Structure 1
Amino acid sequence: MPIHPALHAALDRPVWSALEGGHRHLALGGPLAKRYPREIGPFAALADDSPQAWEALAALLLPGEAAMLVTATAPVRAPGLSLTPLDPVLQMVATRDLAPATLSFSVLGEADAPEMRELAGLTNPGPFAQRTHELGEFLGVRAGGRLAAMAGERMRPDGAVEVSAVCVHPEHRGQAYARHLLAERTRRIMAQGNQPFLHVYPSNRGAIALYESLGYVVRRQLHLTRAELSS
């Protein structure tokens, strides 16, 4: 799947592109800095690297609160903010369509949110707050009356959708749930005419091998930075 140059530029700035695009209805802030609501997640972004943009981001934070930045280059200065570099991530993009999942799954909703947060807490797929499940469609597999696995959506730049929160309960591993849900999530995103993408730590070789087996390839490395008000 060839990626249009404009989409490459959007994927280099996934948080900003999402808050300007498919998640504009969730965006807090203004033209220089935006963030997701606290109860959805810690991600924030800047329009540029100007002092005015950093000051606008600082105005969106409470004392003791941290924002997570995802950028193509690591920021080195931030007036009014303290920056902490975190481990970088690999951004991977899907390159082929996939067959529908062959296992029984359901679309998760508001009633499933407590179980979704519990599963995320057990498996740590990334930040998962009180309303993270509102970012997009989540698919789940139930076994023995409990949520055994799920896969959802997170950032939504125009023309692309991030696959996120792919996690399996420790008691239900070895059933290929992650593979089936990831494949179905990818297929559904492509069916809507969007480019699936995801983020993974370079050290997570098992997950990378799974993603590669389903046609995902590394597009580039992105930097994660924690930003909080200077004390």
Structure 2
Amino acid sequence: MPDSHPLDRPVWNALATRHAALAEGDALARRFRADISIFAAAANAGAAATAALRALVPADGAIGLVEADPPPPLPETRIALQASLDQMLLDAPLPPAKRAPIDWIALGDAHAPQMRALAERTRPGPFSANTHRMGDFVGVRRDGRLVAMAGERLKLPGFTEVSAVCTDPEWRGHGFAEALMRVLIERSLARGEAVFLHCFADNPAVRLYAALGFRVRRPIVYTMLEPEPEPTPIPASAA
């Protein structure tokens, strides 16, 4: 597992540093607590680290790997999903906003059920009960309900990921996604951090990300691993 750039292995570099308090595992392999995120990573490609990563795969769930290259085979697991993502890095100053400012709110534990419900309606990516504890989240409420949000996900030294950018289909076209991203980007830049994100290349939101100054840094492989199912016993009568 090459480590030429911190963002080539963003999950491990987050779990080993700024997100260590949210991690389970040890120096060989770590994962976020299940209520936080599906993401996990091994320290390296060695046999000991691979075994440690396998031990973190839940019997009734999965782990998600985000790496520059496809992961080596993990014993007694199968690939439930594998896809290529574009890793985008903000490498230009934010352009002036073309819309008037919107009224937004900081989101926290009290909003967790609404955040989960919005994520389930819009599918911005893996989102668990306490994903919002990975960083700052901001949102827009209309008619008494949460209709848009954006948040911080992976944090590693010098970098913060913007993620969970989503708007209820009934409220799209009002510029909520851009406005909320600007709030988070400006906070990261003020801390001296670079901002990155992951998305599918055919995601229509790529146009917004490019307009804000993001460029594709490199392709990244997302792999979801789950336990290999137990073989179905053959009935004695069929033997």
User: Normalized against structure 2, the TM-score is what?
Assistant: 0.89
SS in structure 2 at match of 1:62: coil
AA matched with 1:69? L
Segments of structure 2 that go 5 or more residues without pairing to the other structure are: 230-239
AA matched with 1:194? E
Conservation of the 8 A alpha-carbon contact between 1:55 and 1:80:
no
1:71-101 residue CA offsets vs partner (Å, 9 max, x unmatched): 1111242234333451110000112343588
Q: Distance in 1 between matches of 2:207 and 2:169?
A: 19
Matched, 1:9 2:5: yes
Q: Distance in 2 between matches of 1:65 and 1:224?
A: 16
AA matched with 2:65? L
Q: Kindly name which structure, 1 or 2, has the bigger radius of gyration based on alpha carbons.
A: 2
Percent of matched pairs sharing the same residue? 42
Q: Which residue of 2 aligns with 1:162?
A: 161
Q: Which residue of 2 aligns with 1:23?
A: 19
Q: Which residue of 2 aligns with 1:220?
A: 218
Deviating beyond 6 angstroms after TM superposition, the runs of 4 or more aligned structure 1 residues are none
Conservation of the 8 A alpha-carbon contact between 2:45 and 2:72:
no
After the TM superposition, which residues 82-101 of structure 1 pair with which residues of structure 2 at under 5 Å, given as runs?
82-84=78-80, 86-98=82-94
Matched, 1:53 2:34: no
AA matched with 2:228? S
SS in structure 2 at match of 1:134: helix
Name the count of aligned residue pairs: 224
SS in structure 1 at match of 2:87: strand
CA offset at residue 65 of structure 1? 1.8
Segments of structure 1 that go 5 or more residues without pairing to the other structure are: 1-6
Conservation of the 8 A alpha-carbon contact between 1:92 and 1:198:
yes
CA offset at residue 146 of structure 1? 1.3
Q: Which residue of 2 aligns with 1:4?
A: none
2:32 to 21, 30, 36: 36
SS in structure 1 at match of 2:182: helix
SS in structure 2 at match of 1:202: coil
Q: Which stretch of the first structure deviates more once superposed, 96-105 or 169-178?
A: 96-105
Q: Distance in 2 between matches of 1:76 and 1:132?
A: 27
1:176-205 residue CA offsets vs partner (Å, 9 max, x unmatched): 11111112211111111111100000121x
SS in structure 2 at match of 1:25: helix
Conservation of the 8 A alpha-carbon contact between 2:54 and 2:74:
no
After the TM superposition, which residues 1-231 of structure 1 pair with which residues of structure 2 at under 5 Å, given as runs?
9-84=5-80, 86-98=82-94, 102-204=101-203, 206-231=204-229
Q: Distance in 1 between matches of 2:92 and 2:102?
A: 20
CA offset at residue 172 of structure 1? 0.6
CA offset at residue 107 of structure 1? 0.7
AA matched with 2:209? Y
Conservation of the 8 A alpha-carbon contact between 2:85 and 2:221:
yes
User: Normalized against structure 1, the TM-score is what?
Assistant: 0.92
Q: Distance in 2 between matches of 1:171 and 1:212?
A: 24
AA matched with 2:181? L
SS in structure 2 at match of 1:213: helix
